[in-house]
Structure 1
């Protein structure tokens, strides 16, 4: 399985699609280099983005991100439905996060003796959790098209299953480190919620955990590090704009370069990664083989090149997996829209049905608000309880109900007809 990994893209409303965009050249070079790499490595099965898609959480920034990611994915032989995202601090609308009432909740969390338990209590309060998540509404509207949108208390982690070559599952967990983010961010003063400490180990499943903020930015850094080291063979972080790879006995931890760092940063080193993940062996002798291709920008002459380790262009690692054998009579594919933690997922055998559902979701996302509302109303998929929910949550519930009532094919046909008008 090939994973194309980007972080800290920082699309700015005032710059994108203008002649004065200082990142358009680098963005084009990343696309050209990724296309070249994918010709030899294969098409990406997942396009992983570890936060900071936008710069100020503006809808136009996310719209541009959607268009550019579609262009990138198709150029690499993949498709937009392969995108998996988690939020970063620049995906937060800071004018909302900086409001007095929101800051009051943030400060109460920071002052709590047990902030993890206190956060759980705030998530149970409708007013408090709305204050904590409202600044991520624009991000969630963007992430909805990939079924990565988040809403406390039940859906605070994005989740996706992708089959590995031996029939086992690589399970992606997208953590939210940005719900207490604002202009007051300080290193060591951000948080994850209780669900981030409950990632389970399962037979035939390899966990990949991705978060925007590096562990050093979290108040619960040691606790989270200990948990991830136990459960997640692959760990991915962004935010610090510095590429690092730590290879330990039971995990590999990758910290990413920024795709669009500030020009004043020293060194100025845009970058991205490609992770080639394979299971080798069977039964009691299974190993997860990871080949990380770290691509970094070189100046004078300009171009992307491999970051080397001991003379090699590839950072390799091997992790012993627990024994597992694929069942002889594996169950058929089944899409699960109400998986644990409120996420969308699949049973662990195949993910093709989920891929098809994401394709329908992408097309639904592209429709205007009025067309989405008309289709949802026509099939009776909106209910009174949805009135006070943000738009992305209302339309997610449309999909859940369409699936539960066997209306996905009818919904897809209505979307096709709406696209023609």
Structure 2
């Protein structure tokens, strides 16, 4: 069994000035065409979702994410997967610099100069923590819709678990490398912090780490690299708009594949930088009990004015690899049984999604949960979300907390656990029909 995901990075919705709007719109349309052609060519396999390694927006505004959401909807339709099968992490352009107050700028400067010690001080104070994360307000709502919540205690950007075989999973872990981004970022001065650096280690799970910035941009790069090299099999980054792939042996029996993305939509296109993206296939190699990865890189053709195979930018020795995988080998080996044939690789895997606090497992939620959370957090205004929570009885009579974004998620999860998913879906359908009727009448 294998899973194919589309990998995008640096889409930069909202960067267009003048006639570039028409150029970039055309590039995004042609990407949809290319995806449809590729999907047909790989039948009976199926593309199961999308990964975006940051810089979805250009200025981190709500309007830019509205545009991104509409386009991602069209992309997932072209793929044939659910609209919610998208995983995102933030980049430096996903912060709204207009939300950096004088006090916020002071906090970020202190973090840059004093490092993790000062970051931990600010994270322990509720007001300071709110100032640090205010820059991510629009991104937070957008990412929550895709069940990729930012951990606002200095943690990561969500994770997903994908089964490749019984007892063999990849966990795709998102990092927030933009945590310490300000108005002028310097390589080597950003910070992950220990809450993100300490990657999980679970028998039978190999990690795929998504990050916008390459680790060299982090002040704690050395410490972060130790965890990534020892616990991850794949590191996928963006930011530098220069696609590459390389494999290194970390130690005997453990490999790391690093994929550095080009920009899906860079600010401009020339001989050095052009429009690029990847199809990445993950599978279980039974013979070696290892993670197999194949990259299908795509790039823009100035001659044909459409996407084509990128035959020059990536090292061919790193585009189809079997990675020595210690977490697989230490777990009991899968045995073919009812419902799973080791020889079959054409069935789409189930993508397991976890709530931000880990309280909702796949066995506890209805199948439509992912679509409901997408529509609730992305398609409704704050006032509409509040009204819906009240209407379904999700807010207790004794509730005395502010209705912050985090508390909205707690109340939403509680409503799902209490069996109100059907009620929420019906109300969302009513609101959607009302919007459609209003648009038609207008």
Answer with 79-88 or 304-313: which moved more: 304-313
Matched residue, 2:402: 387
Matched, 1:31 2:46: no
1:142-180 CA-to-partner distances (Å, cap 9, x unmatched) read: 111101121421753311112224452221111001122
* Residues 338/21 of structure 1: CA separation in 2 closer, same or farther (3 Å cut): closer
* Residues 301/221 of structure 1: CA separation in 2 closer, same or farther (3 Å cut): same
Answer with 268-277 or 361-370: which moved more: 361-370
Q: 2:90 touches 2:176 (CA, 8 Å); kept in 1?
A: yes
* Residues 87/299 of structure 1: CA separation in 2 closer, same or farther (3 Å cut): same
Which structure carries more relative contact order (alpha carbon 8 Å, separation 6+)?
2
Q: 1:117 touches 1:194 (CA, 8 Å); kept in 2?
A: no
Quote the Cα distance in structure 2 between the aligned partners of 1:311 and 1:185: 30
RMSD, matched Cα: 3.0
1:323-368 CA-to-partner distances (Å, cap 9, x unmatched) read: 23359899xx9x88666xx357747xx9x96863111112323234
Q: 1:237 touches 1:256 (CA, 8 Å); kept in 2?
A: yes
- The alpha-carbon deviation at position 20 of structure 1 amounts to 4.2
Matched, 1:5 2:17: no
Matched residue, 1:259: 264
> Aligned match of 1:49 in 52, 57, 69?
52
Across the two proteins, how many residue pairs are aligned to each other?
Answer: 406
1:112-139 CA-to-partner distances (Å, cap 9, x unmatched) read: 1xx2343233211111111110010000
- What's the TM-score, normalizing by structure 1? 0.87
Matched residue, 1:59: 62
* Residues 403/147 of structure 1: CA separation in 2 closer, same or farther (3 Å cut): same
- For the residue of structure 1 that corresponds to 2:388, the secondary structure is helix
Matched residue, 1:408: 421
Matched residue, 1:40: 41
Matched residue, 1:278: 283
* Residues 316/372 of structure 1: CA separation in 2 closer, same or farther (3 Å cut): same
Alignment of 1:290-309 (within 5 A): 290-308=293-311
- For the residue of structure 1 that corresponds to 2:385, the secondary structure is helix
- For the residue of structure 2 that corresponds to 1:208, the secondary structure is strand
- For the residue of structure 2 that corresponds to 1:304, the secondary structure is strand
* Residues 329/75 of structure 1: CA separation in 2 closer, same or farther (3 Å cut): closer
Quote the Cα distance in structure 2 between the aligned partners of 1:159 and 1:23: 30
Q: 2:389 touches 2:395 (CA, 8 Å); kept in 1?
A: yes
Matched, 1:362 2:374: yes
Quote the Cα distance in structure 2 between the aligned partners of 1:187 and 1:166: 41
Q: 1:15 touches 1:22 (CA, 8 Å); kept in 2?
A: no
Matched residue, 1:94: 97
Quote the Cα distance in structure 2 between the aligned partners of 1:303 and 1:5: 18
Alignment of 1:69-148 (within 5 A): 69-97=72-100, 99-112=101-114, 115-148=115-148
- For the residue of structure 1 that corresponds to 2:22, the secondary structure is coil
* Residues 12/354 of structure 1: CA separation in 2 closer, same or farther (3 Å cut): farther
* Residues 19/244 of structure 1: CA separation in 2 closer, same or farther (3 Å cut): closer
